[in-house]
């Protein structure tokens, strides 16, 4: 039996991009997927497509920065399933900007509301349901641009790429959030890890990435299916310079 069969999963930002690809793969493998997205039409479209293919999915309007949306999502999930096996914190935004010295603080706050504070809000609200599952998994969709090592290593392609301050720093913060939740939950069956999809073609980068969304989803799905002796508190995913997959430096 597939380890995902019959499990319950929530994917924030599941209506497009990597989140959609994760949702489709989870459903294909037998999971019951709740597609939580700020875009109602996108969430409903993906849920309908999954249902048409024989999978199980529902759509839920969720803005991860809004506590009332998260409260309703918890209540609906508890009523329908009584537990949560997988929490994919995938929702994220990117706002293009100039060099750090030209950072727009309002734009930076907007990025952090979704990419950082939204993850904490959703995770804290969902933890009671995650604790009811036999061995829950929390996957935070991060990025190699959040790796301070990769961004400052002269041999890394990322060190040569111009970048604004808001998005990379939000992913660095998300990496620490991952490590701290893993530390708190290390004596439980719950594992918390950050996924690096690689440079994936999505709306966030105007589809300039060289990886498909299906490839970008692979790291998240892998971390959701870790065995009991698998790691917790790591950044894992696509390795740009070496190819393949593995742990990345913080």
Among 74, 75, 29, which residue's Cα sits nearest to residue 56?
29
| pLDDT, average across residues 80-84 | 98
What percent of the chain is predicted at pLDDT more than 70?
96
Of the candidates 112, 167, 181, 199, the residue annotated as catalytic is 167
| pLDDT, average across residues 100-109 | 95
Query: How many helices (H) does the chain have, and how many strands (E)?
Result: 8, 8
Q: Which pLDDT band, with edges at 50, 70 and 90, does 95 fall under? A: confident
DSSP state letter for 211: B
Task: Select the more confidently predicted residue: 129 or 201.
Answer: 129
Among 57, 55, 124, 59, which residue's Cα sits nearest to residue 89?
124
Q: Which pLDDT band, with edges at 50, 70 and 90, does 208 fall under? A: low
Which pLDDT value is given to residue 1?
A: 74
- Distance of alpha carbon 221 from alpha carbon 213, whole angstroms: 12
| pLDDT, average across residues 162-175 | 93
Q: Which pLDDT band, with edges at 50, 70 and 90, does 42 fall under? A: very high
Q: Which pLDDT band, with edges at 50, 70 and 90, does 163 fall under? A: confident
CB-based contact 12:89 (threshold 8 Å): yes
- Examine the pLDDT at 209 and tell me if it is beyond 70: no
Active site (annotated) includes residue 199: no
Least confident of 131-135, 151-155, 223-227, 246-250: 151-155
Which pLDDT value is given to residue 210?
A: 53
Whole-structure pTM value: 0.95
**H-helix or E-strand spanning residue 61:** strand 56-61
Among 95, 40, 92, which residue's Cα sits nearest to residue 62?
40
Q: What is the secondary structure of 44-83 as a DSSP string?
A: HHHHHHHHHTT-EEEEEE--TT-HHHHHHHHHHHHHHTS-
**Count of residues for the chain?**
250
Per-residue model confidence as pLDDT tens digits over 6-22: 999 999 999 999 999 99
Which pLDDT value is given to residue 228?
A: 95
- Distance of alpha carbon 236 from alpha carbon 239, whole angstroms: 9
Which pLDDT value is given to residue 201?
A: 62
């Amino acid at each position: 039996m597939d380890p995902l069969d019959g499990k319950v999963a929530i994917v924030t930002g599941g209506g497009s991009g990597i989140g959609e690809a994760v949702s489709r793969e989870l459903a294909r493998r037998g999971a019951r997927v709740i597609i939580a997205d700020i875009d109602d039409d996108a969430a409903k479209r993906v849920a309908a497509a999954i249902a048409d293919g024989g999978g199980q999915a529902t759509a839920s309007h969720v803005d991860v920065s809004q506590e009332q949306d998260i409260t309703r999502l918890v209540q609906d999930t508890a009523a329908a399933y009584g537990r949560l096996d997988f929490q994919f914190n995938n929702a994220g935004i990117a706002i293009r900007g100039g060099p750090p010295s030209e950072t727009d603080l309002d734009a930076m706050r907007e990025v952090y509301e979704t990419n950082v504070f939204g993850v904490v809000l959703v995770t804290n609200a969902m933890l009671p349901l995650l604790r009811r599952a036999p061995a829950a998994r929390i996957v935070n969709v991060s990025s190699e641009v959040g790796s301070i090592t990769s961004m400052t290593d002269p041999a890394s392609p990322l060190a040569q790429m111009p970048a604004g301050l808001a998005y990379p720093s939000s992913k660095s913060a998300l990496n620490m959030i991952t490590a701290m939740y893993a530390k708190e939950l290390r004596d439980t069956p719950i594992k918390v890890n950050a996924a690096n999809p690689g440079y994936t073609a999505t709306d966030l980068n105007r589809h300039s990435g060289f990886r498909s969304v299906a490839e970008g989803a692979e790291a998240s799905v892998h971390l959701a299916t870790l065995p009991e002796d698998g790691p917790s508190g790591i950044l894992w995913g696509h390795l740009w310079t070496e190819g393949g997959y593995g742990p990345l430096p913080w």
